[in-house]
């Protein structure tokens, strides 16, 4: 099997300068896009983790609010009876 990576410089030398410059530019752009994708992907994973933690806190707060509401309802019912 032929190793493409080792043939890469030789293939670029066989092509006309305009074409090889375009290919090098394309490779550079693809590398930059790959780096941007990796950064975006890691940002999204971090965002998912933080959202999960935030949702857990919100659920805890919701339970506490429901508890407080039920206690207030009981107090108001007792106050109305008097």
Is residue 72 very low, low, confident or very high in pLDDT (cuts 50, 70, 90)?
A: very high
What is the pLDDT, as a whole number, of residue 4?
45
Mark 1-30 as b/e (b = at least 16 C-beta within 10 Å): eeeeeeeeeeeeeeeeeeeeeeeeeeeeee
pTM of the model: 0.59
Round to whole Å and give the CA distance between 57 and 63.
10
43-57 tens-digit pLDDT = 999 999 999 999 999
User: Which residues neighbour 20 within 8 Å (Cβ) at sequence distance 6 or greater?
Assistant: 12, 13
58-69 tens-digit pLDDT = 999 999 999 999
Domain ranges of the chain: 14-81
> How does the average pLDDT of the chain come out, rounded?
84
């Amino acid at each position: 099997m032929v190793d493409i990576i080792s043939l890469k410089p030789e293939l670029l030398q066989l092509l006309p300068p305009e074409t090889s410059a375009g290919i090098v530019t394309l490779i550079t752009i693809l590398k930059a896009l790959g780096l941007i994708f990796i950064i975006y992907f890691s940002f999204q994973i971090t965002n998912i983790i933080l959202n999960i933690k935030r949702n857990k806190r919100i659920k805890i707060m919701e339970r506490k609010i429901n508890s407080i509401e039920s206690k207030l309802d009981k107090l108001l019912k007792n106050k109305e009876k008097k």
